[in-house]
Amino acid sequence: MAIKLLLEKAHVQGIRTYEVYRREGGYTALEKALKEMSPEAIVEELKKSGMRGRGGAGFPTGMKWSFIAKPEGVPRHLVCNADESEPGTFKDRYLMEFLPHLLIEGLIISSFALGSNATYIYIRGEYAWIPDILEEAIREAKAAGFLGKNILGTGFDCEIYVQRGAGAYICGEETALIESLEGKRGNPRIKPPFPAIKGVWDRPTVVNNVETLAALVPIIKMGGEEYAKIGVGRSTGTKLISACGNLNKPGVYEIDMTISVEEFIYSDEYCGGIPNGKRLKACIPGGSSVPILPANLLLKTAKGETRYMNYESLSDGGFATGSMMGSGGFIVLDEDQCVVKHTLTLARFYRHESCGQCSPCREGTGWMEKILKNIETGKGKMSDIDLLWDIQRRIEGNTICPLGDAAAWPVAAAIRHFRDEFEWHITNPQEAQIRNFGLAHYADPIHVPVTA
Amino acid sequence: MKFSEDKLAKVSEIIARYPEGKQKSALLPLLHLAQEEFGGWLSADTMDYVAELLSITPIEVYEVATFYSMYNLKPVGKYMFEVCQTGPCMVRGCDDIIAYITEKLGIKPGETTTDGLFTLKTVECLGACGYAPMMQLGKFYREHLTKQRVDEIIEECRNKAALNN
């Protein structure tokens, strides 16, 4: 059985309530942190754990925390990024829905370490029923003396507030989130200054993902060194993967980053293979922004080595033959899926979500959607493929925030690996309306068991 | 146009979450509250009222209301079917679900039935990819949609509307 640090208790009856969570050992990490450790010692443990941010960028969290400015007399804030909106990603929702106290405990520990007396959870507006769950957990934690004034006699005061967004993917970008929290449009800010220096209301701010902050609980419980022993290399600890697409058992899984991609897709412990005995065509392993890989590059790297579910292995080969761990949004496409159409839905998504501040992204995402739509509906020209390539290249790296890159990469990777499928759409416009291109040479290169 | 005493207490509670003088931060939550309270959409009058509550200029409210997709700037049906159409939902057949709702209710995405009961809207990823196809209906998600489930949901809405009349 795999090691579970976050979801271990997810199936305990009533774990959503304080009473059961506490009975199952909840809030002992908080007691340890506040009574036995200094804020600096918590940051040290976090550094030792080697944990990388679970939102998508994978930046070491301990290092991020150590950047926070501490000017005399200026309040600091922790903001929990629960604006989960990357297509394919639904892991934070699972954590908040089923283990709200785990997040609240992690948030209080983190608030203590960073010196935040007012901490905000910024949650995407569509998750409209979850604030009630979180606010109930906050009320219970407060009644138990873990929130409010002078927590556990330490002199530390802390309140947690839940703020709903209103439908904007861009607010998952930390400076856009800060703008939104200030009651403005979600336009990302130019960095520097970084939020650690000038964040919400110009105060030093740390923004971290839900899963990242929940992981503080096991890190404090077991110690950073023990946490770092789980996993492999710079992929320490456990990671939540939300699996979707053509899978027998889509859902949220906690993995320890030592398992292979093949095991994750085909074993009964995880996704249980692909329905109806279909074969694997392609996969986007880390949320819609990361490069799509054909089956033959997904299960094995270009060097022919087994590919594993961790930061290093998933990015092995760079963008030429690899992808990224990203947010852990794992999207699987079987042999019947059309890569052109799938890419079109992603291009439409990014056009819809572009904030409009930078012209390469505002204009480019619209152009890419239009061209992809032409190709998909049989009105494409051969030159469109190079045009698409040219547009994505001019977006990447030329915008204030990474949404531009996120919009460019899926298009680039689709053309890089599936160019003949694009060409087929253009040379066979009628046929492409009634059937899909199919599997071709992207077939899974290794024998895989057929599951029911 | 005015919130009830109850809602005004809620407004004060929300404003108190932010530092002194940063009451503008309450804008998104207040717009949600106003939309719920005043007919499911934000008229210019509603937005002006929210501006007044927060002591900010109306333009500061308009620019925010037009940015976020969850604020409706024109009236919508009593029940809004917001069907996700992004990649993972497409793979699991959301196109068929959208086509079925269109056929069943006689409205295309963006339209409202003449009786004002239903609005169909296509939306981008709602974070329910593993439970696709899906839609948002009010506060909650309806997942693992099939044509039969859609029939049941429509029936459920009609019954609820009949009860309220």
Looking at residue B110, the DSSP 8-state letter turns out to be: T
pTM of the predicted model, to two decimals?
A: 0.96
Look at residue A444 in the predicted model and tell me its pLDDT.
Answer: 54
* pLDDT(B56) > 60: yes
pLDDT (tens digit, 9 = 90+) per residue, B68-103? Answer: 999 999 999 999 999 999 999 999 999 999 999 999
- C-alpha to C-alpha distance for A14 and A241, rounded to whole angstroms: 24
Tell me which residues of chain A have a pLDDT lower than 50. Answer: 446-447, 449-452
Instruction: Copy the structure tokens of residue B95.
Output: 């196109």
> Bridge-partner residues for A331, per DSSP?
A244, A284
Find tokens 């997904």 and name the residue. A298
Closest residue of chain A to B32, computed from CA coordinates? A166
Look at residue A446 in the predicted model and tell me its pLDDT.
Answer: 47
| Nearest-CB residue to B22 (from A159, A167, A201) | A201
Look at residue B164 in the predicted model and tell me its pLDDT.
Answer: 84
Work out the number of other CB atoms within 10 angstroms of the CB of residue A180. 28
- C-alpha to C-alpha distance for B21 and B55, rounded to whole angstroms: 10
**Mean pLDDT over each residue of chain B, to the nearest integer:** 97
pLDDT (tens digit, 9 = 90+) per residue, A323-382? Answer: 999 999 999 999 999 999 999 999 999 999 999 999 999 999 999 999 999 999 999 999
- Residue A169 CB partners (closer than 8 Å, separation 6+): A83, A85, A86, A349, A353, A403, B124, B125
With CB atoms and an 8 Å threshold, state whether A183 touches B125.
no
User: Does A56 contact chain B (CB < 8 Å)?
Assistant: no
Domains of chain A in start order, with CATH, are: 18-229 (3.40.50.11540), 232-334 (3.10.20.600), 339-434 (1.20.1440.230)
- C-alpha to C-alpha distance for A445 and A437, rounded to whole angstroms: 19
> Bridge-partner residues for A120, per DSSP?
A79, A161
User: Does B69 contact chain A (CB < 8 Å)?
Assistant: yes
User: Does A161 contact chain B (CB < 8 Å)?
Assistant: yes
Interface list for A 387-426 with B (CB within 8 A) = none
Stated as kind and residue range, the H or E segment containing A161 is: strand A159-164
User: Does B152 contact chain A (CB < 8 Å)?
Assistant: no
The answer to whether residues A306 and A231 touch, using CB atoms and an 8 Å cutoff, is no
With CB atoms and an 8 Å threshold, state whether A342 touches B70.
no
- If DSSP codes are grouped into helix, strand and coil, which group holds residue B163? helix
**Mean pLDDT over each residue of chain A, to the nearest integer:** 95
User: Does B17 contact chain A (CB < 8 Å)?
Assistant: yes
- C-alpha to C-alpha distance for A422 and A338, rounded to whole angstroms: 10
Interface list for A 97-126 with B (CB within 8 A) = 118, 120, 124-126
- C-alpha to C-alpha distance for B144 and A295, rounded to whole angstroms: 27
> Bridge-partner residues for A122, per DSSP?
A81, A163
User: Does B43 contact chain A (CB < 8 Å)?
Assistant: no
Q: What are the chain A neighbours of B25 within 8 Å (beta carbons)?
A: 163, 181-183, 201
Mean pLDDT, rounded, for B131-157: 98
Look at residue A169 in the predicted model and tell me its pLDDT.
Answer: 97
With CB atoms and an 8 Å threshold, state whether A185 touches B86.
no
Look at residue A442 in the predicted model and tell me its pLDDT.
Answer: 59
Interface list for B 70-109 with A (CB within 8 A) = 70-71, 85-88, 90-92
